[in-house]
C-alpha cells in the first residue's frame, strides 16, 4: 500500500479524535469530500480484503423433475476466489458521520455440488460469477467517556444485479431446470453475509483499533500534548469538522490549563482536501507549561558574542555605559541571566502570529572566585512576529524581532541611562540571541503532520492541498529592533 494513502487513512482517523464537552477546541481540522474520497482508497482496500474472506454457508433444497421425480441438491465448500470493489466513495452525512458506497463490484466463487434421487446421483464443481454488486454502509462517529473516537454501523444494505452459475458434471444439464432457484439462493446468501461481515469488521476490528490510538503525545521531557476529543465529529453535507483539545500539559505535574481556549471560528471553504486551525490557546498552554517548569530561563555570557562584536559582556565594555561598573569591578567578565516574569503570550491575526514576552534581565559581574556580584535588573518586553507558508511539502516561516521596551527595575551601580541600555540590549538581541535561537531551531526535530497536525488559525488558516506536511524549524531573519523610550524606574539601595 502506498505510504501516502496509508498516511491519509491515519489522518482521517486521527483527525476524528476530539473535544471535553462544552469547551472550545485548541485544534480544529476539516476533511472535505475531496479528502474523504482520497482516504477512501485505503478504507475500501481493507473492506475488500475482509469481503474476500467471507465464509459462505452451504445450502440445499429439492425440486421435481419429470420421470426422475424428487431431486435433492446440495451446494457446499463455497470459496470466494476474488472480490473487486472498483468504484467507491465516502461522503459525510449530517448528524451521523460517514457513508461508504461501493458500486459495480464483482466477485467470483467456486465450490462443489451434488444431487441425488431414488434412481441416480451426481456430483461436480461449480463456478459463480457475481456482477453489479452495490454496498452502502453508514458509519456513525461519536466520542466515548475516555474522549476517544467511536464508530458504529448505523445502516447497511447490499444489492446484487446478476448471478451466473456454471455447473460441471455429466448431469449438469439438470441445472437448467432449476437455475433461477439456485441463483436466487446464492444471491441472498451473499447479500446477507456482506452486511454481517461489514458490521463485524467495524465492531471487532475498527472500534477496538480506535481505542488503542493515543490521545496524548510526548513533546519532550517537560511537556506533552493532549489531543483528545472535546466533542463528537460534526458532519455536514460537504465536510467532516473535527475538534481536538489541543492543550500542552506538564508531564511532571499535570493539571488543567489556567485559562479556557477562546471560540475558534472556522472558514466555510470546501475547495481543498484538508483545512487545519490552531487556537492561540494551544501555543499559550505551551508557554505556560515551560514557564512553570523554569526552562525558559537562560544565561548570556561573553563567549556567546561574535568575535568581531565591539560590545563585550565585560565590566570594561559596560563601564563605558555605566561608569560605576568599571570602577567597582574593573577588568571582569559579566553574565546576564534572562528569566521570564510571566508566561509568553501568543496572538494570531490574518497577517501572522505575534508573540509577546516580558523578561527580567539580571546583570552580574563575575568575581575572581567565580562568585557573582549583582549589578542591575532590567525589565525587557519584546514582541516577535511570525509568518508561515508552504514550501514543497513543508510548513516554513520566518520570525522577526520587533519592538523592544526596556525599563530599569533595580540598580546596584547607580543611575542607568535607558537610552544607552536600550542600545546595548538591541545589540545583544541582534548579534547574540537571534543566532543562538536559529542554531537551536536547526537542531529541533521535524514534526510530520501525519503524526501531529500543525496549522495556523484563529482567523488565519493553512490548507494542504492534499499533501502530507512536515514542519521544519522557523528561522529568525532580518531583526529590526525599534527603541521604545520609557521612563527610568531607578531603584537604588
What are the tens digits of pLDDT across the range 155-205?
A: 999 999 988 888 876 766 666 666 777 788 778 888 888 888 888 888 888
For 27-51, write each residue's pLDDT tens digit.
888 888 888 887 777 777 777 887 8
For 284-295, write each residue's pLDDT tens digit.
898 899 999 988
Residues 10, 13, 19, 24, CA torsion sign:
positive
Measured in degrees and rounded to the nearest 5, phi and psi for residue 223 equal -130, 160
Work out the average pLDDT over 64-80: 80
For the CA atoms of 303, 309, 314, 317, the dihedral, rounded to the nearest 10 degrees, stands at 180
d(CA 401, CA 384): 5
Measured in degrees and rounded to the nearest 5, phi and psi for residue 423 equal -65, -40
398 pLDDT tier (thresholds 50, 70, 90): low
Any idea what the Cα angle at residue 235 is, between residues 33 and 95, rounded to 5°? 135
332 pLDDT tier (thresholds 50, 70, 90): very high
d(CA 85, CA 158): 13
pLDDT at 471 over 70: no
393 pLDDT tier (thresholds 50, 70, 90): low
1 pLDDT tier (thresholds 50, 70, 90): very low
Task: State the average pLDDT for the chain.
Answer: 77
> Which span out of 237-241, 274-278, 332-336, 400-404 was modeled with the highest average pLDDT?
332-336
Does 241 or 131 have the greater pLDDT score?
A: 131
Start-to-end C-alpha separation, the chain = 72
Per the CB < 8 A criterion, the answer to whether 318 and 327 are in contact is: no
C-alpha cell at 112: 462443489
d(CA 421, CA 412): 15
Per the CB < 8 A criterion, the answer to whether 455 and 462 are in contact is: yes
Q: Which pLDDT belongs to residue 482?
A: 31
Neighbouring C-beta atoms of residue 247, cutoff 10 Å = 28
Q: Which pLDDT belongs to residue 18?
A: 38
- Residue 378 region, left (φ>0) first, then alpha (ψ -120 to 50), else beta? beta
| Strand runs labelled E in 168-229 | 216-218, 223-226
Per the CB < 8 A criterion, the answer to whether 369 and 325 are in contact is: no
Residues near 132 by beta carbon (within 8 Å), at least 6 away in sequence: 104, 106, 159, 160, 161, 162
Q: Which pLDDT belongs to residue 360?
A: 93
For 347-391, write each residue's pLDDT tens digit.
877 667 788 889 999 999 999 999 999 999 999 988 877 766 655
Q: Which pLDDT belongs to residue 411?
A: 94
Measured in degrees and rounded to the nearest 5, phi and psi for residue 119 equal -120, -15
Any idea what the Cα angle at residue 310 is, between residues 307 and 311, rounded to 5°? 100
Segment among 155-159, 177-181, 298-302, 477-481 with least mean pLDDT: 477-481
Render 103-115 in DSSP notation, one character per residue.
EEEEEEEEEEEEE
d(CA 100, CA 89): 6
The residue assigned the cell 475531496 is 34
The answer to pTM > 0.85 is no
Neighbouring C-beta atoms of residue 284, cutoff 10 Å = 23
3-class SS at 212? helix
Q: Which pLDDT belongs to residue 461?
A: 39
Q: Which pLDDT belongs to residue 40?
A: 78
pLDDT at 328 over 90: yes
Amino acid at each position: 500500500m502506498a505510504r501516502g494513502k496509508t498516511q491519509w487513512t491515519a489522518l482521517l482517523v486521527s483527525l476524528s479524535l476530539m473535544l471535553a464537552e462544552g469547551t472550545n477546541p485548541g485544534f480544529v481540522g476539516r476533511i472535505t469530500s475531496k479528502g474523504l474520497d482520497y482516504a477512501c482508497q485505503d478504507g475500501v482496500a481493507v473492506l475488500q480484503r475482509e469481503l474476500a474472506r467471507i465464509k459462505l454457508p452451504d445450502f440445499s433444497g429439492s425440486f421435481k423433475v419429470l420421470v426422475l421425480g424428487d431431486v435433492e441438491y446440495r451446494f457446499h465448500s463455497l470459496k470466494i476466489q476474488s472480490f473487486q470493489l472498483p468504484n467507491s466513495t465516502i461522503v459525510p452525512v449530517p448528524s451521523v458521520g460517514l457513508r461508504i458506497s461501493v458500486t459495480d463490484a464483482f466477485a467470483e466463487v467456486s465450490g462443489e455440488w451434488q444431487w441425488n434421487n431414488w434412481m441416480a446421483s451426481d456430483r461436480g464443481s461449480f463456478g459463480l460469477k457475481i456482477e453489479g454488486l452495490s454496498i452502502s454502509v453508514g458509519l456513525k462517529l461519536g466520542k466515548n467517556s475516555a474522549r476517544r473516537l467511536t464508530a458504529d454501523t448505523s445502516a447497511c444494505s447490499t444489492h446484487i444485479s446478476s448471478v451466473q452459475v456454471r455447473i460441471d458434471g455429466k448431469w449438469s444439464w439438470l441445472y437448467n431446470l432449476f437455475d433461477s432457484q439456485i441463483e436466487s439462493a446464492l444471491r441472498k446468501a451473499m447479500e446477507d453475509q456482506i452486511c454481517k461481515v461489514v458490521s463485524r469488521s467495524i465492531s471487532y476490528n475498527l472500534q477496538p483499533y480506535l481505542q488503542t490510538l493515543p490521545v496524548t503525545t510526548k513533546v519532550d521531557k517537560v511537556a506533552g500534548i493532549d489531543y483528545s476529543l472535546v466533542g463528537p465529529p460534526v458532519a455536514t453535507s460537504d465536510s467532516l469538522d473535527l475538534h481536538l483539545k489541543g492543550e500542552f500539559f506538564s508531564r511532571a505535574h499535570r493539571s488543567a490549563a489556567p485559562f479556557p481556549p477562546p471560540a475558534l471560528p472556522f472558514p466555510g471553504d470546501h475547495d481543498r482536501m484538508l483545512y487545519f486551525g490552531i487556537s492561540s490557546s494551544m501555543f499559550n498552554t505551551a508557554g505556560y507549561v515551560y514557564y512553570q517548569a523554569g526552562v525558559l530561563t537562560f544565561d548570556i555570557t561573553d563567549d556567546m558574542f561574535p568575535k568581531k562584536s565591539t560590545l563585550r559582556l565585560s565590566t570594561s565594555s559596560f563601564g563605558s555605559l555605566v561608569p560605576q561598573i568599571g570602577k567597582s569591578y574593573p577588568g571582569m567578565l559579566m553574565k546576564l541571566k534572562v528569566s521570564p516574569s510571566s508566561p509568553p503570550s501568543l496572538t494570531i491575526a490574518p497577517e501572522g502570529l505575534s508573540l509577546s514576552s516580558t523578561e527580567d534581565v539580571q546583570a552580574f559581574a563575575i568575581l575572581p572566585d567565580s562568585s557573582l556580584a549583582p549589578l542591575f535588573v532590567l525589565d525587557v518586553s519584546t514582541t516577535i512576529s511570525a509568518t508561515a507558508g508552504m514550501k514543497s511539502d513543508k510548513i516554513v516561516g520566518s520570525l522577526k524581532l520587533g519592538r523592544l521596551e526596556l525599563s530599569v527595575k533595580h540598580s546596584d551601580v547607580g543611575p542607568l541611562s535607558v537610552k544607552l541600555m536600550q542600545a546595548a540590549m538591541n545589540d545583544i538581541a541582534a548579534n547574540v540571541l537571534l543566532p543562538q535561537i536559529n542554531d537551536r531551531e536547526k537542531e529541533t526535530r521535524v514534526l510530520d503532520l501525519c503524526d501531529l497536525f500543525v496549522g495556523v488559525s484563529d482567523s488565519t488558516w493553512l490548507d494542504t492541498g492534499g499533501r502530507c506536511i512536515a514542519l521544519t524549524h522557523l528561522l529568525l531573519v532580518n531583526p529590526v529592533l525599534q527603541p521604545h523610550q520609557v521612563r527610568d524606574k531607578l531603584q537604588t539601595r
